[in-house]
Structure 1
Amino acid sequence: MDLAPYLAAVGVPLLGWSAHTTWLTRRLATARRDPLTGLLTRDGFTSRAERLIRSRAGRTTVLLIDLDDFKHVNDTYGHAAGDAVLAATADRLAAWCGSAGVAARLGGDEFAAIVVDSDERLADLHAALHEPVPFKGQLLDVGASTGASHPAALLLTEALSAADRDMYTRKPDGRTARRR
């Protein structure tokens, strides 16, 4: 009995389904990454962060980072300068997180991270986020306010809210008003 016709009849659809699945997987991965910074978006971050909180309960720190006076950079130097600041911030945050955490750009000039056993390294992050950013032969002064929380429960939303409150107490202009 010749199996070639049967294998072709089964193999062609399987090959098509496999190619389609690969394409969909790549599209989903792309949708979960910010195109400017390469960091995870909110959706991608949420799923990874929740898994990390569950697997390392009691050892994780959730951070929320907001760039200080970012509008001034865009207004003074242009949006290309703002993009350079966002990309540099993302690179610095991702390098700081390393393999012990996950970094994300939540939108605009707001970033988040979750890391394991980070308390002794928070000063390093603060220093990195305040280094000037090179742009077209000049150095742009940047700053960032960072809020941290240690999730007591396994809820990421509560940890992000606590980090947000902590971040606004640290804003240089004393701003405590809620955004949005």
Structure 2
Amino acid sequence: MEDTSMASHLRAHALIGQRALYLTTAAIPLTGWAVHAAALRRRLAAARRDQLTGLHARPGYVQHATRRLNRCGDKTMLVFLDAVGFKAINDTLGHDAGNALIIAIASRLEQWVGDDGIAARLHGDEFAAALTCPVSDRARRMEQLHHVLHQPVDVDGQAVDVAVSIGMSSPSDLHSRDYTYVLRGAEGAMYEHKREGTGLYRIGTDKHANEPTVNGRRLGRTGTTAHPLASEDPR
């Protein structure tokens, strides 16, 4: 009887050991996949950030702006920015100075947006923001943005002046929540501000959103074209 009990006890321990070994060996690949998945998520997150400035890149901006337009409607502002004279700064002061200018604009834009939305670097010296702002407070916020962006940037002890063209649009002005249409309004307003060089910024209208393009590129009054940022697929 004692031998039978001892044999049963040993068999039970053997089964427990086998199960423990199975769980341990099964956990090894699962752990490996968890590490791989975490690394993949980090790479995807990094891909959605601009490497120089740390701002969101275009895909993240498109998705966020689309959701915000659908959710907040008339309270949503899309802002489009372009640094004026950036190439001249690169050519005369060097790429380090150009990078310092880009980083300064990005930092100021991000601070201005705060917790109200998202700031992004779309391409080269072009930036965008999407935020929620009451219509009654819009003019004050835009004047504030113009002021903070146009402060000189210190580059190796030299004060470099900053000039930025700014366009802003909203469903309250365009009567549409369509991302492409509203961004085209902001983009067109920014190019008008850049061409005319007067005022603090421009407000996008249907005229700006409907300006003609050539091969998908916006055609300005001077005959120059701009990158079709509004044509990005929000998916």
How many residue pairs get aligned? The number is: 180
Question: 3-12 or 84-93, which moves further after superposition?
Answer: 3-12
* SS at 1:114 equivalent: strand
User: Which structure has more RCO (C-alpha within 8 Å, separation ≥ 6)?
Assistant: 1
Query: Distance in 1 between the 2:85 and 2:105 partners?
Result: 14
Structure 1 equivalent of residue 230 of structure 2: none
Structure 2 equivalent of residue 178 of structure 1: 225
Structure 2 equivalent of residue 156 of structure 1: 179
- Superposition pairs of residues 7-46 of structure 1, within 5 angstroms: 7-46=23-62
Query: Residues 118-141 of structure 1, C-alpha deviation per residue, up to 9 Å, x if partnerless?
Result: 613110100111110000011001
Report the aligned-residue RMSD. 1.5
Runs of 5+ unmatched residues, structure 2:
1-14, 198-219, 228-235
Share of identical aligned residues, percent? 42
Structure 1 position 154, deviation (Å): 3.0
Query: Residues 89-146 of structure 1, C-alpha deviation per residue, up to 9 Å, x if partnerless?
Result: 0000000000101000001100000111061311010011111000001100111000
* 1:132 correspondence with 2:148: no
Query: Residues 25-65 of structure 1, C-alpha deviation per residue, up to 9 Å, x if partnerless?
Result: 00001111111110011111111221222221221000100
Structure 2 equivalent of residue 61 of structure 1: 77
- Write out the 4+ residue segments of structure 1 that deviate beyond 3 Å after TM superposition: 172-177
Q: Give the helix-richer structure, 1 or 2.
A: 2
Given the two structures, how large is their TM-score scaled by the length of structure 1? 0.94
Residue type of the alignment partner of 2:148: A
Q: From the CA coordinates, give the structure whose radius of gyration is larger.
A: 2
Structure 2 equivalent of residue 4 of structure 1: 20
Runs of 5+ unmatched residues, structure 1:
none
Structure 1 position 173, deviation (Å): 5.0
Structure 2 equivalent of residue 165 of structure 1: 188
